[in-house]
Each structure stands twice: as structure tokens, then as C-alpha cells.
Amino acid sequence: MKNYFVLAAAFMLFAVSSSAQKFFTKSGKIEFDATTSSSPEKIEGVNKTATCVLDSKSGALQFSVLMKGFAFERALMEEHFNENYVESNKFPRAEFKGTVANNDAVNYSKDGTYSVTVKGKLTLHGVTKDVETAGKLTVQGGKVSAVATFPVLLADYNVTIPGLVADKVAKTAKIGVTCALEPLKN
């Protein structure tokens, strides 16, 4: 009888330690910056409702972000972003599906900061392209935070900039990602 207890306890301990395999957030932050040296002001929007899931075992990484969720300081800029550039009514969502290429180098059970390479496919404005970027994963107290910045050439995703403002909007937008991921309890 006692043995069963030990066995059950051991099993429960095992279950707890192995359950934190997937990490997620629904309030990831994605920043969009298309400011160039000739821009009269900052052209940047921020979205704080990105969904992100990371599977620590396989390194699979997924993002989903609603284009209408990008907030710009100027109402006019936000409308132009939605209506003329990313056409968020037609393409409401941007998605990234990829993997942490060097996932073996990350020890998810040990606190620390790990440099990672993320590879995958980004779908934006109805166009899917391969992207690769360097980022950082920080493991602390069973939680994982993910930070990365990468460039997106707007023309790659059929986002056209009207001639009138062509020299005032960057052709390559900087995308910044900051996510605090929590372990997913099953």
C-alpha cells in the first residue's frame, strides 16, 4: 500500500515537471515601424493582442496577429494603414508558422537567456514568404519570454506605397516582437 503511494507521488511529480511543454500568450506585443530618415514623424503602430504558442519539445513556434489591432497615434495614419496598405478588411490576420531552428540549445528547465534562430513562413496581406531571424528566449522561473526584431520588405507582401509619400515611408518595415509566455496547463 505504501509503495503505491510513493509510486503515485512520483508519477504526479513527473506529470507536473513534464506538463510545461507548451508555452503561450494571448497578449504578445508586436511593433510595426516604417519610419525612415526622411519621414516627417514616427510611423509606428503597436499591437498588444498577438497570440503566440511555443512548443518547447519540438521548437514549433506560431504567431497570430489581427491587423486591426495595431494602434497608431494618429487616427489618419491608422486608417491609411488598414485601408490602403494592409487592407485589413480583406486580410484581417497575419500569421507566422515556424520553428526555433536551434531548439536543442535551449534548456527550458534552466533559467538563462538563449540566442535562437527562428525560421518559418510569414503570411501577411495574403502573401506567404519564408523568413528567418535571430531572437532571444529567456527562461525564468518556468516562464519563457521571447524577443526578436526582423525586417519586412513591404513590396514582398504586395503592400504598395503611393507615389506621393513613397520617400516618406520606409520600404522595409521593422517588426519587433515581445512575448511573455506562460506554461500551458492541460
Partner 1 sequence: MKRKKIFIYTLLVLLVAGTGAGFYIYKEYNRKHKDTANLKPDFSAPAAQLLGEFGKDEKSANAKYLGKVLQVDGLVKDIVKDEKGFYTIVVGDTASMSSVRCSIDSVYNGQGATVNKGTAIAVKGICSGYNADEMLGSDLILNRAVIEKN
Local structure of residue 157 (DSSP, 8 states): G
Note the Cα 109 to chain centre separation in Å: 22
Query: Total binding residues for partner 1 by CB under 8 A?
Result: 25
Instruction: Give the contacts of 181 (CB within 8 A, at least 6 positions apart).
Output: 23, 24, 25, 52, 54, 143, 144, 145, 146
Interaction of residue 184 with partner 1, rule CB under 8 A: yes
Interaction of residue 143 with partner 1, rule CB under 8 A: no
Instruction: Give the contacts of 2 (CB within 8 A, at least 6 positions apart).
Output: none
- Candidate residues 69, 135, 176, 183; the one interacting with partner 1 per rule CB under 8 A: 69
- Candidate residues 19, 27, 140, 172; the one interacting with partner 1 per rule CB under 8 A: 27
Q: Which is nearer to partner 1, 66 or 161 (CB)?
A: 66
Interaction of residue 71 with partner 1, rule CB under 8 A: yes
Of the candidate spans 11-19, 61-69, 134-142, 152-160, the one that interacts with partner 1 by CB under 8 A turns out to be 61-69
Interaction of residue 147 with partner 1, rule CB under 8 A: no
Instruction: Give the contacts of 76 (CB within 8 A, at least 6 positions apart).
Output: none
Question: Which of 110, 180, 173 lies closest to 145, judged by CA?
Answer: 180
State the residues that interact with partner 1 by CB under 8 A: 22, 24, 26-27, 48-49, 51, 53, 64, 66-69, 71, 74-76, 78, 82, 88-89, 92-93, 180, 184
